Structure formats: C-alpha cells, structure tokens
Structure 1
Amino acid sequence: MKKVSIFFCFLFLCCLSLGAQVQSWIRINQLGYLPNSIKVAVFISNEDLATLDFEVKDAVNNTVVFTNKGVSANAQRWGMKHAARMNFSKVIKDGEYYIESNGVKSPPFKINTNVYDGSADFLLTYMRQQRCGYNPYLDAECHQKDGFIVDHPTRTGEYIDVRGGWHDASDYLQYLTTSANATFQMMFAWQQNPDKTIFADEYDALGKKGKNGIPDILDEIRWGLDWMVKMNPDSAVMFNQIADDRDHASMRLPTEDKVDYGWGAGTGRPVYFITGERQGLGKHINRTTGVSSSAGKFASAFALGADIFKDIDPAFSTLMKGKAGAAYNFAETKLGNTQTACLKSPYFYEEDNFVDDVELAAAVKYNLSKDGSWLKKADYWGQLEEVTPWMELGRARHYQFYPFVNLGHYYLSQSNDYSVRAKYIRFMKNGLEAIAKRAKEQDDPFMNGIPFIWCSNNLVAAAITQAHLYQEASGDNSYAEMEAALRDWLLGCNPWGTSMICGFPKSGDSSTRPHSAYVDIMKDIPYGGLVDGPIYRHIYESLLGIHLVYDDEYAPFQFGEAVYHDDPGDYSSNEPTMDGTASLSYYLSAMQKAGKDQAKMVTDSQGAIVRKDIDKKVIRLIFSADVAFEGAPVILKTLDKHNIKGSFFLTGNCLRTKEHEDIIKQLIKKGHYVGAHSDKHILYASWDDRQHTLVSSDSLVQDLRRNMYELARVGVDTSKVNYYLPPSEWYNTENVKLIELEGKKVINFTPGIRTAADYTTPDMKNYKSSQELIDLLYAFEKEQGLNGAVILIHPGTHKDRKDKLYLHLDEIIRNLKSKGYTFDHF
C-alpha cells in the first residue's frame, strides 16, 4: 500500500480535479544510497518522449547538483513506451535529493553512509512474528501438542516434542528445508559481520522486548538451532516437516489453529520422518530420492552453530559439533534429495539438487578447520554443480534448486589452495554472467535477469548475495551495477515503485497488505517480511483461488512480463516468506558495514579515498615513484627506525629499472605495501579541464594491467594489491570508475596537505622548500587535524632539487608521534 505525505495526497487530488493523468514515473531506491555506490534511477513512461536528459536536485533548495543523459532501454518488457536508466553515481555528497526529467519528479531520496543502519535487524521483526511454540508477537503459546511421527517403520503414531522453530509463511507448516537454510543464512550474516553495532540487543531470548546481553540475531539463530536439535534427536533419525497441506484451511492466528490431522482438532500435527523414499500420506506423493539434501542442511547449520556458540555456550557448541559430524555421515548413506510432502494437492517444495548441501557442509568444516580432507570432500561435491541451476537455466519449478545461492562456493573461494580458489571464483562468476546475459538480451531497464517464478524475490536476494561475495573474493567489479540494480529492485526501483519488504522503509511505498493472517485478522503489518515478489503473468493467470480484495493501485504497471499486487488476495506475489526474509540478513548487514566503512573515509570530488579511518589518530605515509627512486634507502631506514610500515606506489618503469631491484625486494620482504601507480606514468586527464579524459579506456586498463604484471614479476602478491594511486595523482571520475571495475580502490593524498609539492624545482613558480612544506603540514594539522590523513612524499625527485623532503622524514614522524598520531599502511 502506498504511503504518501499530505502534500503528495493534495497534489494527487489536484491533478485529478484537473483531469490530469500521470503517464511517466521515475523509480528509485526508496531507502537511499551510500555515497560511494552505484546509483541508477529508472525512468518509465507511457508516452513517446523526446529527451533523455535528467537533473538531480537538492531537495532542500531545489538547486541542480548534477545533469546527465539517460540510456534508453526496452520499455516494452514492462508494457511501457519509453524507459531509460539514469546514472547519477557521481553525486556523492550527503543530502536529500530528487530527480527531474520530462516534467516529472522522483520521490525524494537520501545519500548518506547511514541509510542501511538497522536494516538487517528490521528483518528480525518478521522472524520473531513467525515463531512457533511461543510467539512473542502474540505473547502466547501455539502448537503445544506437536507432534506425532508419521512414515517411520516402527514409530508411526508416537508422540515427539518438536515445539519451536518458525512458521514457513502465512500458513503454519514448518519445513526443515527452509528453516535450516534460514538459520544458516543468519549465522552466515553474523560470521561475516560479527558487529554488535550492526546487530543490536533489544530483545531477549524469547523475542520479547528487553536486552539480554546477546545480539538479537544470535537469539533468533539459537531459536532455530534448538528446534533443529529436536528434529534430529539421534544420528540416523531426522524429521523433515511438521504438518502438511491440510494446513491450508483458512486465515487464522496460530493460537487458533484447530486443523484436525487425525488426532483431534488442534491436538497435534504430523511429523514426517526422513525415509529417503517418495512420501505422501494421500494420493499425491513427492519425488524424494535420498536423504542428502536435508541431512546436509542439518550438518552445515550444526557445524557453523558449533563455531558461533563456542564462547557463548560451550556445552551447546559441543553438542552441535557432534551432531554436525553425524549428520554429514548420514548424508552420505543414501545420496539424493528429500522433498517436502503433500496430501490434498500436488504442490510441494520440489528440491531436486543435493550436492550443494553436502558441499556446503564440508566447506564449512574446511573453512573452520583448514583440514585438507574436508577441502577434498567439498571440492568433490562442488564440482558436480558448478552453477546453481536456476541461474544458468533461467527457470525452475517451485523450490526446485534450493538453496537459491550456493554459499559453499564462497567458502571454497577463500581456500588457501590457489587452484581451488580460482576455480570457485570462476563458478560464482559463471552464475552471475548467466543472469547478466539474460538482462542484457532483454535490454531490461532494471537490469533484471531473474526468472519471475514463484518467490522471485528470493532469487533476487540470492543473486545480490552472490554478486557481493564474488566481488569480495575476486576484486572484480563486473557485476557491481547489476548487484546495485537488483538491490534497488527490492527497495522500490521496479515497475511498481514499491519496496518488497513489508513496512520498509517507513516513509516509502512498501508492501502493507500482504497475504497474511496478521493483516487479515489483526489489521497489522508483518513488518520486515520479504514478500514472494513479481510472478510471470502466465503463472499468475493459471493459479486457482486468487481474488483481489482491493482495487489494484498498481494497475498501470500490470501489462509487462510479470505482475505484482499489494493485496491479501494474491498469495502468489505478495506472501512474506520466512526463509526469503532471513536470506537478506547477510546482504543488508554487509551494506550497513559498507556504510560504516565509508563513514570512516573521506573521498574527493572524483571518488578517490583521501582519508581512511577518520575516527582514529592514524596517518598513512605514501611514496609514489616513476623512475627517480634515489631516496628509497633513506626512507626505508627511517621507517625501520620507527617501526612503521609505509605504502609504496610504483610504476612499471620503476619496477623495470635494474638499479631499483634490491631496494624493492627489501620493501616487499619487510612487509611494506607495494602497489600500482600505472605502467608508463601516462596522464589520464587534462590539467585544464579535469573531466576531459586524455587516455582511452582500453589504454588505461592495459596500462594498469601491465603495472600489475610487473608487480607480480618482482614478487608482490597481487591478490593483496587493492589500492591504486593514479599517475601524477591526477584523474577524473571516469578514470576512477574504470579503475574500480578492475577491482582497485583509487586513493590520493589528503587535499590541503602540500607535501606532494616536494617534486618542484627552484626554477618553477610553485616551488616550495622542504621547510615551507613542513610548516604547511603542521599548520594543516593544527587547523584540521590529520585523523585518517594520507601524506605523500616522493622518494625520488629531479636532480635540480637539492632540498629533498624525504631527508626530513624522521623529523616529521617524531613531531606527529608527539601529538599522539600512529602510522599504518594501505
């Protein structure tokens, strides 16, 4: 349901009174953008328009801060006449803005390092609402008589206590398949970002308001693991689900669930034993072939749980460790997939793959232990499914290829074995390339190559997770724009202009009328729940029992390839799912971490990092050299004296100069950062007009790559060369973006610090003596401080400059140390 301000309501009514009808829209990420991120809005229109021009305006004073031309895209895919992608990534200043083009304005949006703050925790609101056994949202117990074993050769009909866990979606079914994945996804989020400033402590273990000294995500993880222990009471005894499709009886609260499964109304539900054979208590049965998919999920969750809780609850950790090993062994006893069971209808989770689950279990064990035997096992299984099939095929039956993202590949991309690492980075890339290729073939304005099958938003969450992890593992930014586009898709940059997370962001247009009992009965919102998402029109039209309750507010946007409704009557596109919600916890926490990292840095107007760790009294000394390098021995001796690691950015010219070989080897051996500074020290941008690029994209990239080759040749581990100092310390935004696409962060000295003028000679108008440069540095420190500052000193200068600044390095270091500064390298 759309949430609009009084002003916009008034404006809308005025337009109606004038007989006007909006025909064009600008879609944006309603949550906002991090300053140093790709930012692209999408313009769609039912009109034939003449211009692609757009303006970004300051929302406070309406002044234009940026202008550009959009890039036309295929509007017909979404039933429109005109569409364009509008890139405004160059706008990096904190503030509130809007975009204007062809007489229409976008909603206002923020650019800030804190836009994602609290987003990962917000998802937990829905997870707590989905709790079974005790539900903190209702402050009441439910399903206290679960349950009765079915399909066991000797124990069928026996009572077993399996209370706990989460309800799967708006129904009250509980699946090991989705619950184990949800538990693992949240653990992965914490493992990757174990930060109590990202994951807060506002609720206790029962999910009730109140701190308990443990981050809320760990409380939620523990809730899932405790239930999984009950579902795996012995090494070869596992259960796969509670209840079946008899649950689909009516909208009701979980505390009022009176469905009769044969033991009396509301007196217990069936608990399906994992047999490794086809299952179903009625005429409809699934296509189960083995135990590995479910056993593998038990094993990976228990293995990671053992590590996460080793200091919090050692006894529980020990239990997890033992169960992880037993579950892995069980996974290998009857290879195959375990599907969920049905009874009334032929609808079930059709998971067909299992090697990814066994791979993940082994990969987690390897990641934690570095035991080569686990690497061998994980690699064996991982090679059997290089790409998650839905990514490659662009299609799938319901939950056919699950989990939707293979995190085992990421763990193996972190291997100490270079060949294994390279292999799994390639596998991750291949999956992303398949998605990107579909988007390109469609010329989709939203860069969306996701198949719009049921739960398409879960696939989007999987794709952005893999894209983010791939970039981290490889340093390759090839899919950064697609990642941004798919992230923005979930947060409002889609044809319908709505966020797919219920009630989020608070001030935006988001799903507020999903298919949920809490909406239907309590007139409340399942806050934080990720809804299923857009679905192919032909699938939607084939489904039974869909009757929209309200007039379709998104009617103008339902003529494209997929449809979406914010209506409780549409269970296909607008039902929140527990596993889909949990699957976003890693990504949103990673975005929040990125914001925190950006808040610690300052970038210049072109996007280069010019201060790093501004929250600390830390300085980075950098030394850039082309051919002249005569001062390097003096600098190295001074750094050694003060036990400081410096950062040396060297050109290919420098690296190829024979007389520099010994000192460069010493720099590497002593652990100083040795990075790239171009190969031939070419000038990227005009001194007179900075935005005028002087070098072609191909030439710049080839020059950088040759520099990297030379670094590797002299013994530098180029996998750790993540920062790049452009030649002459002069560049423009276009150069920076191109270098970032090569996986390097561009850095430069802090503006206002004049030490880089130590290259000048007495015959130059801008000549500065060393003492003048030192005095200016101290004056800058007094006025602005040097927290996170980058200070550049040239280790070699023209022979006509006799007054070498590097000879004063000892004095500079001693003075700044006396003021409380420490020194670090990149």
Structure 2
Amino acid sequence: MKKQIIVTLIFFISFFCVIAQSNHIHFNSLGFLPNHKKTVTISQKSDVFNILDLKGNVVFSGKTTGPYSQEDINQTVWKADFSEFTKTGDYVIEAVGVGRSNAFKIADDVFNFAAKTSMRGFYLWRCGMEVNGDFNGTHFYQDTCHLEDGFDDYIGNPNSQRDGTGGWHDAGDYGKYTVNAGITVGVLFMAWDHYQPQIEKLQLDLPDTAPGLPDFLKELKWETDWILKMQYPDGSGKVSHKLTRVNFSDFIMADKDEEKRYFTEWSSAATADFVAMMAMAARYFEPYDAAYAKKCLDAAWVSYRFLQEHPEEKRFVQGDFKTGGYQTRDNDDKLWAAAELWETTGDKTCLDDFEKRAALMDYKIEENWDWGNVSNLGMFTYALSKRKDKSPEIDTLIKNNITENADALVEKGKTDVYSRALAGTYFWGCNGTVARQTMNLQIANKMQPKKEYIETAIGIIDHIFGKNVYNRSFVTGLGINPPMHPHDRRSGADGIEAPWPGYLVGGGHKATDWIDDQESYSHNEIAINWQGALVYALMGFVD
C-alpha cells in the first residue's frame, strides 16, 4: 500500500512537472465554455494532440492542422481544435512530441470570476474613499484620498475650492479625465443594457454607497456623481476637461498625493461626452432613482444647449499641465451626445443633429476605436434603438455597416494565428482596442445573429488570457503567468509583491515587443477605457 502511494505521488508530480515545463501550447488559460469553440495554438511541430483528465486518461484525441506562418510574430505554428468535446471538468492538453499544458476548465461559468474581478477593479480605483479587498490570499488597501478636489484657479477663480471628490482614478496615475471617462462609462452602460440578466447574477461585493441600485450600476454611479461635478459652477454648461495636479506624482499611494489639484478649462469634446454620459445615466438609473435620473438629464440638456449655441470646436490646451492630455476633435463626441440624448428623450432636434453628423461620417463603423473616436457608440445606440422616428434609410445603412465591419473582424480573427481580430496592428493601448472589438461583434450579432460573431468574440478573450505569442495573460492576477509589474502607482507603492488584481495592461507597439515593466507606461499601464472594454468582453459570456 505504501509503495502504491509513492508510485501514485511520483505519477502526479511528474505529470504536473511536465505541465509546468511546456511553453509551446498557447491557449485561454481561464478555460473554455462547453458549447463554444475551443482552439489552441502550438508553436512547435506536433501532428496529434490529446485532451487528458487530471488522472492522465485520454478523453479526446485529434489531429492538428498546419503549419501556418505569420510574419509579424516570426513564427510557424500548428492549431488544435477540440470544439466538439463538451464535457465539463478539469483537463490538460497534450501536444504529442511537444509537452503538456497547464490545467484548465471547461465550464459554463468559466469566465465568471474574471468578469467579477475585472469589474471590481473599478471599485478598487475609487477616488475619495477607503477601498480594500482580498485576492488570492493578499489584502489590498488604499486609504481615503484627494478630499480637497479641486481648485478653480484655471477657470478664473484663483484659490477657490469646490467639491470634485469621487470618481475613479483614470489609469496608473491618480488624475481624473472627462474624455476618457466618456468612452468608459459609455461602454459599461452598454454592457448593462446588453447583458443585464447575466450581470445581475454576479455578486460584486461592493460597499452600499448607492442604496437600492444593483451593484453594477452602483459602481457606475460613483463615477457619474463625479462627472456631474465637472460641469462649470456658473451654469453655462461648459465641462472641465480634467481634474488633476499639474504634474504626475511619484509612485506613492493615493492618500500620500497631497499636491493641489485643479479643474481645468473646458473643451467641447469633454462637454459633448458629458452630455452623452448624463443622457445614458438618466436612462439607466431612472428605474431605480427617478430624482437622480432627472438631475442627470437636466445637466445633459444644459450642456447640449450650450454646444448648440456655441458650435465652434474648443480644443483643450495643456498649458501648465503635464498630466494626460486626451486632446481630441469633437465631431464624434457631438454625434454620440446627440444619439444618447435622442434615445433618452426622443427629441427631434437631437435626432436631426445625429443624422446630419452621421452623414458627414458616411455612417462608418470603426474597427479600431478608443477615446479619440467614439462615433461607434452613437452609431450603435441609433442602430439598436426601437424608436420609430429614425430614418429607415439611415438605419439600414448603419446596420449594414455594422455587420460588414463584424464580417471583416471575423476574417481577421481567422487569419491571425492567435485569434487577434486587430490582426497586424499594434500601438500604445492596443489590448484595450482588441477587447473593445467584442462590442462590434456582439452588436452585429444582436441585429443579425451569426455564430461566427460569437466565436470571434471568444477568440478575442482567448487571446487576452494566454492565446498569444507570449503564452501569458494580459490581466493582472488572472490566467497563466499574468503581468506582475503594471505601470500602476498603487502596485508600485504598496509594498506588496502581487499587483492589484483584474487589470488589463496596454500591450506592445509591435507584435513581439510587450514588456512586463512598471517603468514602461506605453506598454504596461492600466487604464479605465481598456478596463471597460475588458468588462464588456467578459460580461457577454457570464454563465
């Protein structure tokens, strides 16, 4: 009996040592949904693969396809597809002649924990209150910060202070930026709109800062409460571009950041994004808090009317500021503002405004988009609207462009050996754009259901969590060999080895140049706009 136990232990030790040694099997280390596509990329020749249970039994076998060569990653790879294997459980992939993978799950809820963790990342970003949480045995804590936000020196009131507390820290720094909040809040509200039944199943374990609201909206309200404060106090409708100190802080905890922080002057892009966010807030909060919804809508109208009366573009100028610029043209922001205010109110002026602006953009749907171009948000809202007063011709044009765009993403996802639908294109923060492309696919699927749209969206999640050239997850604390050194002041200053969990890092500027280095903000920073995209991607597959 003793000998048998020793032999069994040797088997399991050797089995999992082999697992740990393999770096050639690239796959979504979170696991797979039972009834969806399951693919693996193998970066060393293997003709046959097996799926093993954790006792070492072969439960599925197949032949690989390939070889496939891809120039930007300078690799030749083989692919394994075990989509037809649907039994839930814990497994290992064996590429014969290459090695074995880490263990993974097949389960209906395989993305639930990641979805919850990524959304809780926004809570852990909260400014103006104490935040804390436990993750994998580590306690993360940030004391109350930035209670003196902020000062009005740059909008004509020297040494005048008013309430600018709340909201989320924007990225790896502690600034708060209206434009980047815009795309983030817009994407998250759309996640709620599209996936509310699934989202409500998740217990986000948030403090009860907004009694009566579902947790997901409770978190969004922490941000919209702050956004309301960015409107100028003079009643004009102008909206400050950002609220930050003049220079970035050192790597210190937020409560140690005591330098004076300022409301900056307004920009037309920030003002338009404010309108869009407040119109959405009015729509989605109304069932739970009608008074707050009215407050948001009233504020949206004030700023919208200001923009109508002052149609010239007002760009933000950094001046004394060295913090994030988020300078952008305002045509896309104004289009989005008109779409959301029309969807909330049915106002004919807003509808005409949107349709004229959409025509100037040729009703285009972007496949590569972020805070600098939010026209997709307006196009999506219009296409999905059930209001009867929109133009049938324009509606058809936009819907056709959405499905054509999604079809193109499907083809790019197929041609990239790591299922990356932004195939061949890399830049600062491109991981956020990759995640955000799931919106293009899911919205196309809502209008014209097609299995390929869903499978391409899953391929994007696969890519983010390990099916990539690095064989690593791009999300802190989740998946295989995740980032350990994000450009994040909390992670760099709290004295804890593990980084704060659940955050998507920006990614490489080329196919193979990403580095897990705290100093490299252009490769390894975290940011709310990328995080919102990650949350949207995952919420589509909760349960």
* TM-score over 0.5 for the pair: yes
> Does 1:515 find its partner at 2:509?
no
Provide the residue aligned with 1:269 in structure 2. 261
> Does 1:421 find its partner at 2:395?
yes
Provide the residue aligned with 1:237 in structure 2. 238
Provide the residue aligned with 1:611 in structure 2. none
CA RMSD after TM alignment: 3.1
Counterpart amino acid of residue 272 in structure 1: T
Name the TM-score, length of structure 2 as normaliser.
0.85
Alignment partner of 2:465 out of 473, 487, 491: 491
Please list, as runs of the form range in 1=range in 2, the aligned pairs for 1:243-392 lying within 5 A after superposition: 243=244, 246-247=247-248, 249-258=249-258, 266=259, 268-274=260-266, 276=267, 291=268, 293-332=269-308, 333-336=310-313, 338-339=315-316, 341=318, 343=320, 348-352=325-329, 354-370=330-346, 373-385=349-361, 386-387=363-364, 391=368
> Does 1:11 find its partner at 2:34?
no
Q: By how many angstroms is 1:460 displaced?
A: 0.8
Q: How many residues align?
A: 511
Provide the residue aligned with 2:39 in structure 1. 40
Provide the residue aligned with 1:446 in structure 2. 419
The answer as to whether partners of 1:412 and 1:420 remain within 8 angstroms in 2 is no
Instruction: Summarize the Cα distance change of 1:97–1:331 in structure 2 as closer, same or farther, 3 Å threshold.
Output: farther
The answer as to whether partners of 1:439 and 1:449 remain within 8 angstroms in 2 is yes
Provide the residue aligned with 2:430 in structure 1. 456
Q: Which has the larger radius of gyration?
A: 1
Provide the residue aligned with 1:532 in structure 2. 506
Determine helix, strand or coil for the equivalent of 1:77. Answer: coil
Distance 1:206 1:294 in 2: 26
The answer as to whether partners of 1:200 and 1:215 remain within 8 angstroms in 2 is no
Instruction: Summarize the Cα distance change of 1:43–1:303 in structure 2 as closer, same or farther, 3 Å threshold.
Output: same
The answer as to whether partners of 2:365 and 2:401 remain within 8 angstroms in 1 is no
The answer as to whether partners of 1:121 and 1:217 remain within 8 angstroms in 2 is no
Provide the residue aligned with 1:406 in structure 2. 376
Counterpart amino acid of residue 67 in structure 1: G
Distance 1:571 1:334 in 2: 36
Provide the residue aligned with 2:539 in structure 1. 589
The worse-fitting range, judged by mean Cα deviation, of 444-453 and 185-194 is 444-453
Instruction: Summarize the Cα distance change of 1:7–1:253 in structure 2 as closer, same or farther, 3 Å threshold.
Output: farther
Provide the residue aligned with 1:203 in structure 2. 206
For each residue in 1:388-441, what CA deviation from the matched residue of structure 2 results, as whole angstroms up to 9, or x when unmatched?
A: 5563xxxx9xx67334x722222222245543332112222344455556667x
Provide the residue aligned with 2:8 in structure 1. none
Provide the residue aligned with 2:9 in structure 1. none
Q: By how many angstroms is 1:585 displaced?
A: 2.5
Q: By how many angstroms is 1:294 displaced?
A: 1.5
Counterpart amino acid of residue 11 in structure 1: C
Distance 2:39 2:317 in 1: 40
Q: By how many angstroms is 1:143 displaced?
A: 1.6
Distance 1:103 1:578 in 2: 39
The answer as to whether partners of 1:355 and 1:384 remain within 8 angstroms in 2 is no
Alignment partner of 1:56 out of 51, 55, 64: 51
Provide the residue aligned with 1:191 in structure 2. 193
Please list, as runs of the form range in 1=range in 2, the aligned pairs for 1:602-621 lying within 5 A after superposition: none
Higher RCO (Cα < 8 Å, 6 or more apart): 2
Provide the residue aligned with 2:7 in structure 1. none
The answer as to whether partners of 2:441 and 2:457 remain within 8 angstroms in 1 is yes
Instruction: Summarize the Cα distance change of 1:60–1:103 in structure 2 as closer, same or farther, 3 Å threshold.
Output: same
Q: By how many angstroms is 1:60 displaced?
A: 4.2
The answer as to whether partners of 1:117 and 1:198 remain within 8 angstroms in 2 is no
Distance 2:238 2:344 in 1: 26
Instruction: Summarize the Cα distance change of 1:480–1:185 in structure 2 as closer, same or farther, 3 Å threshold.
Output: closer
Determine helix, strand or coil for the equivalent of 1:273. Answer: coil
Distance 2:19 2:442 in 1: 43
For each residue in 1:756-795, what CA deviation from the matched residue of structure 2 results, as whole angstroms up to 9, or x when unmatched?
A: xxxxxxxxxxxxxxxxxxxxxxxxxxxxxxxxxxxxxxxx
For each residue in 1:622-679, what CA deviation from the matched residue of structure 2 results, as whole angstroms up to 9, or x when unmatched?
A: xxxxxxxxxxxxxxxxxxxxxxxxxxxxxxxxxxxxxxxxxxxxxxxxxxxxxxxxxx
Determine helix, strand or coil for the equivalent of 1:535. Answer: coil
For each residue in 1:163-197, what CA deviation from the matched residue of structure 2 results, as whole angstroms up to 9, or x when unmatched?
A: 11111112111111112332232222222223364
The answer as to whether partners of 2:180 and 2:529 remain within 8 angstroms in 1 is yes
Determine helix, strand or coil for the equivalent of 1:73. Answer: strand
The answer as to whether partners of 1:177 and 1:297 remain within 8 angstroms in 2 is yes
Determine helix, strand or coil for the equivalent of 1:573. Answer: helix
Q: By how many angstroms is 1:337 displaced?
A: 6.3
Distance 2:371 2:148 in 1: 31
Q: By how many angstroms is 1:588 displaced?
A: 1.7
Determine helix, strand or coil for the equivalent of 1:96. Answer: strand
Q: By how many angstroms is 1:198 displaced?
A: 2.8
Name the TM-score, length of structure 1 as normaliser.
0.57
Counterpart amino acid of residue 372 in structure 2: F
Counterpart amino acid of residue 95 in structure 1: G
What runs of 5+ residues in structure 2 fail to find an aligned partner? 1-11, 133-140
Determine helix, strand or coil for the equivalent of 1:562. Answer: coil
Determine helix, strand or coil for the equivalent of 2:540. Answer: helix
For each residue in 1:574-599, what CA deviation from the matched residue of structure 2 results, as whole angstroms up to 9, or x when unmatched?
A: 2221221123323322211xx3xxxx
Q: By how many angstroms is 1:157 displaced?
A: 4.4
> Does 1:147 find its partner at 2:139?
no
Distance 1:139 1:350 in 2: 30
The answer as to whether partners of 2:427 and 2:509 remain within 8 angstroms in 1 is yes
Provide the residue aligned with 1:215 in structure 2. 214
